[in-house]
Amino acid sequence: MIANHIYHALEQVRELQQKILERQRFKGYSGRVRAICGTTALLAAAIMSSPFYPQTVKAHIYGWGMVFLFGFLLNYGAMIHWFLFDPMVKRDIRRLKPTLDALPALFVGGILTATMIMNGDYRYLFGIWMTLFGVANLASRHVLPRRIWIVGLYYIIAGSICLLSPSISFLNPWVMGIVFFIGEWTGGVILHFDGEFPLSPRELIAFLFHHKESKHAEQI
């Protein structure tokens, strides 16, 4: 009988811990939006590698700048929609605090990018973007599904390889496109299913084709 009381007490503690974690979890980022951004990066790589696209550094900088701007507006647009219309948020400005975690990495990325461009050294841009985007993912791991650290580590490793391989040409957009396609789709799946794995084939197909969410996702 004492053992039963201890068991029930432990269960109550676990439930309380889970509720605390759920209240701390930031749900302003959209998994589907991340997947769209990853697809956009791959499409941009295909466009920039085509014969009709100017094979100049300036044209490629503009191309990746447009991809970043599109992703930034789409992600923060989805977050603003969540903030304004999710009844659980109640438009509490404090719920947006986790978005500040990624800003230092993005700011440093912008400074380094500007420095490289002003000095005419474009070899390290892919590596800089990937590593700092990985740092931004790791910085958010405490308020996002815990498996998001995998995405952060993936970007840091990919970026480190690019930084240590200066022979990789900035005019080869497939490096950036493929890395971000894989990373953003992985992050998108983790966010969409709130880090609960393994995914069944039915759940994954539903996510890919925007069908009705599975019962597991609805409970989240």
Interval 137-195: pLDDT, tens: 998 887 788 889 999 999 999 999 999 987 899 999 999 999 999 999 999 999 888 74
On whether residue 76 sits in a domain, the answer given is: yes
On whether residue 6 sits in a domain, the answer given is: no
Residue 214 has pLDDT above 50, yes or no: no
On whether residue 200 sits in a domain, the answer given is: yes
Helix axes 173-192, 31-48, angle to 10 degrees: 170
On whether residue 10 sits in a domain, the answer given is: no
Residue 125 has pLDDT above 70, yes or no: yes
Q: Supply the range of the domain harboring residue 81.
A: 28-219
62 vs 100, more confident: 62
Domain tally, the chain = 1
Model pTM? 0.75
On whether residue 19 sits in a domain, the answer given is: no
Give the three-state DSSP class for 41. helix
